[in-house]
């Protein structure tokens, strides 16, 4: 039976490599659509949790994994990458971080492509979903597969389809977000489009993998540039004594030509702080600068320093130095109401304040303890919140505006509040101890 036929009758085994914030919801989407699925991950603890039906991504809910684990042979999870020859379709959702000099780190893609190439067989479809610069699918993955003496578009199929996950979002999910699909060749694009259309409500085919790769970068660069704009506006307007959040609320009353973006303590997440530099790096390869993108990056990367400066000045005005001050950071996750700490500016804020001699704790109802990351290892646990605890700190720094926080409680008992998210806008009573940053 051909791959097209297997996709049509949903007997194709769909494999997903990388069972994190992108791969796990995608695996479930295909499982819900009726396909047999197999998940691959290098972390054995994830595999064991999946087999038990335990959720390790809390924002997805307790039943997200449990239902799959109870479905018998239609769901499998493994750390054995030699089994990559089994799936009819392999979808790659591995990290694409930056190196120490803001250069793309494609090592995860390269290793995964090598693992697939070892067992690649005729009739398989491979789709890369990891965000990367244009031509990665063609230049990194394709040569490894063609070395097997098989022809793309005939013996095997290769495409790119960018992930568009937004952890914690309630109005959209994996199935409802339109899916871009671009093939290395027309037949690969057609096969990949057919597969995704069985699990995703709307699939948008584009002419090439390069178009799909570039579209994903454009989406995230658009956000990064506009966030940099409001971050710079915040600095300027604060110096003028103008509330930038009120300005944004005023501007967004215009029904056309404007979209509201909001400032913060820095960029976080798996896309916005990283993806623009993938295009910047690739542009240098063709001899062109990306001045606009790089300037936006400079503004956004400088925001943690701005917040620390505002904190230092606010403490100084109260005859208190940063050194030996007790500071509580509220929110470790990069966005509200999730446990996702990837690239969160809170880590940098804590490290910078500790470097200045402050004694820093954090509270996050979604992140009970920190774990080792590529660039940070705080070895901290979340402290409990109470009126007495809040009153014991010289400063409370709001880094993430989780809905679980009682901002009135914070405002009533904290000595000094540095609010980077305008979280305290609705509190009543005295506000002279609240500093927007």
Please spell the DSSP secondary structure of 68-130, one letter per residue. Answer: HHTTGGGEEEES-GGGGGS-SEEEE-----B-TTS-B--HHHHHHHHHHHHH--TT-EEEE-S
Exposure pattern of 257-293 as b/e (b: 16+ CB <10 Å)?
Answer: eeeebebbbbbbbbbbbbbbbbbbbbeeeeeeebeeb
Selection from 227, 224, 274 nearest residue 374 by Cα: 274
Which tokens sit at 124? Answer: 């398989």
Selection from 142, 132, 294, 309 nearest residue 224 by Cα: 294
Residues 6+ away with beta carbon under 8 Å from 409: 385, 387, 390
Please spell the DSSP secondary structure of 254-272, one letter per residue. Answer: SSSS-------SS--SSST
User: In angstroms, how far apart are the furthest CA atoms of the chain?
Assistant: 77
Tokens 């190439």 sit at which residue? 117
Q: How far is CA 188 from the centre of its chain?
A: 28
Is 395 among the catalytic positions?
A: no
User: Taking the alpha carbons of 423, 425, 431, 436 in that order, is the dihedral positive or negative?
Assistant: positive
H/E/C letters for each residue in 134-162? CCHHHHHHHHHHHCCCCCECCCEEEEECC
Enter the DSSP assignment of 334: S
Instruction: Give the span between the Cα atoms of 27 and 29, in whole angstroms.
Output: 5
Residue 326 belongs to what H/E stretch? strand 326-330
CA angle (211, 217, 219) in 5-degree steps? 100
Residues 6+ away with beta carbon under 8 Å from 412: 387, 429
The answer to whether 333 and 339 are in contact (CB under 8 A) is: yes
Instruction: Give the span between the Cα atoms of 145 and 137, in whole angstroms.
Output: 11
**Given 3-state DSSP classes, what are the helix, strand and coil percentages for the chain, each rounded to the nearest 5?**
40, 15, 45
Q: Which residues are catalytic?
A: 271
């Amino acid at each position: 039976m051909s791959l097209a036929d297997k996709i049509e009758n949903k007997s194709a085994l769909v494999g997903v490599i990388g069972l994190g914030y992108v791969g796990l919801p995608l695996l479930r989407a295909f499982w819900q659509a009726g396909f047999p699925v197999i998940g691959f991950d290098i972390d054995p603890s994830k595999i064991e949790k999946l087999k038990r039906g335990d959720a390790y991504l809390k924002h997805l809910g307790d039943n997200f994994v449990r239902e799959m684990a109870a479905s018998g042979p239609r769901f499998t999870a493994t750390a054995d990458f030699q089994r990559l020859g089994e799936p009819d379709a392999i979808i790659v959702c591995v990290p694409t971080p930056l190196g120490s000099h803001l250069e793309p780190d494609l090592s995860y893609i390269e290793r995964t492509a090598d693992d697939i190439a070892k067992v690649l067989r005729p009739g398989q479809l491979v789709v890369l979903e990891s965000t990367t610069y244009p031509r990665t699918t063609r230049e990194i993955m394709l040569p490894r597969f063609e070395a097997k003496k098989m022809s793309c578009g005939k013996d095997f199929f290769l495409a790119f389809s960018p992930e568009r996950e937004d952890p914690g979002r309630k109005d959209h999910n994996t199935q409802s977000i339109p899916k871009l699909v671009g093939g290395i060749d027309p037949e690969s694009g057609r096969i990949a489009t057919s597969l995704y259309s069985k699990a995703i409500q709307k699939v948008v085919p584009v002419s090439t993998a390069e178009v799909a790769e570039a579209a994903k970068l454009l989406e995230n660069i658009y956000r990064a540039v506009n966030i940099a704009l409001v971050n710079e506006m915040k600095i300027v307007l604060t110096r003028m004594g103008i509330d930038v959040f009120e300005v944004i609320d005023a501007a967004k009353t215009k029904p056309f030509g404007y979209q509201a973006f909001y400032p913060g303590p820095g960029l976080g997440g798996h896309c916005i702080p990283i993806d623009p530099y993938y295009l910047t790096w690739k542009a240098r390869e063709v001899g062109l600068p990306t001045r606009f993108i790089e300037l936006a990056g400079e503004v956004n990367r400088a925001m943690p320093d701005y917040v620390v400066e505002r904190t230092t000045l606010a403490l100084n005005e109260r005859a208190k130095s940063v050194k030996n001050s007790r500071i509580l950071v509220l929110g470790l996750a990069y966005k509200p109401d999730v446990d996702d700490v990837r690239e969160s500016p809170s880590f940098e804020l804590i490290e910078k304040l500790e470097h200045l001699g402050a004694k820093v704790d954090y509270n996050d109802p979604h992140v009970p303890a920190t774990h080792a990351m590529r660039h940070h290892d705080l070895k901290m646990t979340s402290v409990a919140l109470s009126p007495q605890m809040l009153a014991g700190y010289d400063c409370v720094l709001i880094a993430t505006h989780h809905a679980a926080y009682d901002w009135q409680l914070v405002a009533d008992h904290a000595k000094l509040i540095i609010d980077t998210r305008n979280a305290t806008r609705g509190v009543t009573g005295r506000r002279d101890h609240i500093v927007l940053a």
